């Protein structure tokens, strides 16, 4: 059959009410119509019917029966309604009207989907034949529906030929299948032998120092372009980077203000008794108050003072002589100390002049900086946009926490750790899930992520194992430039930094090792500097000297050992306490660590460090 006639039946209450929400139906329609797509080339199909119905069993059945019995279509793809919701009844409606079940199609979709997520086992799709029409239930999400269709697409043309009893095409297909099976089996054996037996025993990437790796990041990371900025309220600008110089809108203070609680006086009057004219508190105006010799005005700290006042005397340097009749106000005081002209008066603009530069572009906005901006009249600030970040874990063995752990599997701890480190440093990142060690799945995952983000941070698949394919995928599929693929450090040697252009935009890829401690250490050493540079934050980690409280056997590579630094009143330097065994898979020993000890590489002269030796340490979470 040259052209397969398709009917698309979207089952969804919300899509039935709002047609624009039918993203899944649109996605499947485009896959079939696009003759240049992988699915389109296989199916060679046309859309003859397409409609949306609510989650009502009788309406679903009416459409399936009408399309099938009229022989208007060869294949009906239902989309949605296969889950556990009370309203999900597509499988029940399909079972009611099919004559023969085609369970193998559903099994193929399920097996493929389980490689992506264990939640696929909750799908309840049905497939079968009614008269001369093949009916297949696809899941409701655009991504899942497309993935399932790509799995079963190769079998659909042959299924249609079998239903239509096209003997010639059936015969040709069976012959081709036998030949292909033999050839494919030989190719797979050859491929396995080549990829494992003849794989590289040494890395193709030179080993560089941590300093060289950071220099390469600095060289190849470009701050987000001029459009990468936005205006935000002060309360949303904390820890962000100011884009553009900031100048004060006002003089600070904008009036002559008292520094003390006391009395505004004429300095020339000197010591002696004064008549108290009135009191002025912060927020008052003083335009009508005039001082004459022998008088004063009571003022509070921060309050404006009369124009003709030349000094403020603090209340502690006076005594009360006479109160009012009701004893509620002061009528006369005596100044006990000499008064100097200008004493305890803040002149207009003495702190900041109007138009004065208060913050430079690129300043990180902490609490003090935001307070300064507010004092100078700003409600909103122009700040550099944060990069869009995706975090992806890789590995066949990984499962999401909360699922039943399968034999030979472990829970993915890297993703939540990395996402949390990012959040602690002011970055919100997207959880991009887990990619199994399958080339096509990993390529599809990365393609999707790069459409959503500026930076992709991965963990795993960068070492020397036969399933570590990430570097090769980046180079050969995404035409990425790998700036470094090995770093002379422990832990974290396989750390990889690459850039590529995707959809005409530069993308950054930082691939961290899969061991949890390695991922944590390299996240702090490489990912945070990369992200900060993207948003014009050029702060650097704080490095201090510290005294060891235990001995260390040095490694041939410089080592970054987790430690807890404590300051005491008796030691000039902080004391470094080891968190225990430094094996790279032991995440428990990262707990409570507030620093990374920067241990030197072993030499013939120096193979150990002893208690009391002094080394450098990088404080975690602190920048300067």
Domain range 230-251+351-383, CATH architecture? Alpha-Beta Complex (3.90)
Binned at pLDDT 50, 70 and 90, residue 37 comes out as: confident
In this predicted structure, what is the pLDDT of residue 327?
84
Asked whether residue 387 carries a pLDDT value surpassing 60, the answer given is yes
CATH pick for 389-535 out of 3.30.160.20, 3.30.450.20, 3.20.20.70, 3.40.980.10: 3.40.980.10
User: Read out DSSP for 208-230?
Assistant: B-HHHHHHHHHHH-----TTSEE
In this predicted structure, what is the pLDDT of residue 204?
79
Structure tokens at 477: 């599929």
Binned at pLDDT 50, 70 and 90, residue 539 comes out as: confident
CATH 3.40.30.10 fits 543-619, yes or no: no
In this predicted structure, what is the pLDDT of residue 182?
40
Q: Where are the domains of the chain?
A: 4-179, 230-251+351-383, 257-346, 389-535, 543-619
* Stretch 585-608: mean pLDDT: 81
Binned at pLDDT 50, 70 and 90, residue 502 comes out as: very high
Asked whether residue 350 carries a pLDDT value surpassing 80, the answer given is yes
The winner for highest mean pLDDT among 66-75, 175-184, 386-395 is 386-395
Q: What is the pTM of this model?
A: 0.60
What CATH number belongs to 257-346? 2.170.190.11
Any idea which of 16-30, 221-235, 290-304, 476-490 has the lowest mean pLDDT? 221-235
- Between 169 and 583, the higher pLDDT residue: 169
Q: Which residues make Cβ contacts (< 8 Å) with residue 215, sequence separation at least 6? A: none
Residue 405's CB is within 10 A of a number of other CB atoms, namely 10
CA 89 to chain centre: 37
Interatomic CA distance for residues 473 and 496, integer angstroms: 13
Q: Which fold has domain 4-179?
A: Molybdenum Cofactor Biosythetic Enzyme; Chain A (3.40.980)
CA dihedral 389, 430, 525, 245 (to 10 degrees): 50
Residue 313: closest CA among 292, 290, 285, 335? 335
Q: Which CA distances in Å does 213 have to 188, 222, 402, 433, 621? A: 38, 16, 37, 27, 20
Residue 624: closest CA among 505, 537, 540? 540
Tens-place pLDDT, residues 111-156: 888 888 888 888 899 999 998 999 999 999 998 999 999 999 999 9
Which string of b and e fits 25-42 if b means at least 16 CB within 10 Å?
Answer: bbbbbebbeeeeeebbeb
- Between 415 and 384, the higher pLDDT residue: 415
Please check whether the two domains, 4-179 and 389-535, share a CATH topology: yes
Tens-place pLDDT, residues 160-219: 989 887 766 555 554 454 444 444 444 433 443 345 555 565 677 899 999 999 999 999
């Amino acid at each position: 059959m040259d052209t397969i006639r398709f009917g698309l039946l979207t089952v969804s209450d919300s899509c039935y009410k709002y047609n624009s929400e039918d993203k899944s139906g649109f996605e499947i329609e485009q896959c079939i119509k696009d003759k240049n797509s992988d699915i389109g080339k296989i199916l060679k199909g046309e859309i003859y019917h397409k409609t949306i119905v609510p989650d009502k069993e009788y309406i679903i059945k009416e459409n399936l029966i009408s399309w099938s019995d009229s022989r208007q279509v060869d294949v009906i793809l239902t989309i949605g309604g296969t889950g556990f919701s009370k309203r999900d009844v597509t499988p029940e409606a399909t079972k009611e009207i099919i004559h023969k079940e085609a369970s193998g199609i559903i099994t193929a979709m399920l097996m493929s989907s389980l490689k992506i997520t264990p939640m696929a086992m909750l799908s309840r799709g049905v497939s079968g034949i009614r008269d001369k029409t093949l009916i297949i239930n696809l899941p409701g999400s655009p991504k899942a529906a497309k993935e399932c269709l790509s799995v079963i697409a190769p079998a659909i043309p042959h299924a249609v030929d079998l239903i239509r009893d096209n003997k010639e095409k059936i015969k040709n297909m069976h012959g081709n299948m036998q030949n292909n099976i033999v050839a494919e089996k030989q190719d797979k054996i050859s491929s396995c032998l080549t990829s494992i037996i003849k794989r590289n025993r040494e890395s193709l990437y030179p080993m560089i120092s941590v300093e060289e790796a950071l220099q390469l990041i600095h060289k190849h990371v470009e701050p987000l372009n001029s459009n990468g900025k936005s205006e935000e309220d002060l309360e949303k600008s904390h820890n962000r980077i100011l884009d553009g110089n900031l100048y004060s809108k006002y003089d600070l203070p904008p009036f002559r203000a008292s520094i003390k609680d006391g009395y505004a006086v004429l300095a020339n009057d000197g010591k002696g008794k004064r008549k108290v004219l009135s009191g002025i508190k912060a927020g008052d105006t003083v335009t009508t108050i005039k001082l004459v010799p022998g008088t004063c005005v009571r003022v509070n700290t921060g309050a404006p003072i009369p124009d003709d006042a030349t000094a403020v005397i603090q209340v502690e340097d006076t005594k009360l002589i006479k109160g009012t009749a009701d004893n509620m106000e002061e009528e006369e005081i005596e100044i006990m100390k000499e008064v100097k002209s200008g004493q305890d008066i803040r002149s207009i603009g003495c702190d900041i002049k109007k138009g004065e530069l208060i913050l430079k572009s690129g300043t990180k906005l902490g609490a003090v900086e935001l307070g300064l901006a507010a004092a100078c009249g700003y409600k909103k600030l122009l700040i550099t946009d944060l990069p869009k970040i995706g975090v992806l874990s890789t590995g066949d063995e990984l499962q999401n926490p909360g699922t039943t752990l399968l034999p030979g599997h472990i829970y993915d701890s890297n993703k939540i750790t990395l996402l949390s480190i990012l959040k602690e440093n002011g970055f919100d990142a997207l959880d991009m899930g887990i990619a199994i060690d399958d080339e096509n799945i990993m390529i599809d995952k990365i393609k999707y992520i790069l459409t959503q983000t500026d930076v992709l941070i991965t963990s795993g698949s960068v070492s020397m194992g036969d399933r570590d394919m990430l570097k090769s995928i980046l180079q050969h599929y995404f035409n990425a430039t790998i700036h470094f693929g090995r770093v002379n450090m422990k832990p974290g040697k396989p750390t990889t930094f690459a850039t590529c252009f995707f959809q005409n935009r530069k993308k950054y890829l930082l691939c961290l090792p899969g061991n949890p401690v390695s991922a944590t250490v390299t996240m702090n050493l490489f990912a945070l500097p990369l992200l900060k540079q993207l948003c014009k934050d050029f702060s650097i980690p704080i490095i201090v000297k510290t005294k060891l409280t235990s001995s260390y056997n040095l490694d041939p590579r410089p080592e970054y050992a987790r430690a807890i630094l404590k300051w005491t009143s008796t030691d000039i330097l902080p004391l470094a306490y080891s968190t225990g065994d430094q094996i790279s898979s032991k995440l428990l020993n990262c707990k409570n660590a507030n620093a990374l000890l920067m241990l030197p590489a072993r030499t013939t002269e120096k193979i150990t460090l002893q208690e009391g030796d002094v080394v450098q340490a990088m404080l975690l979470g602190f920048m300067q």
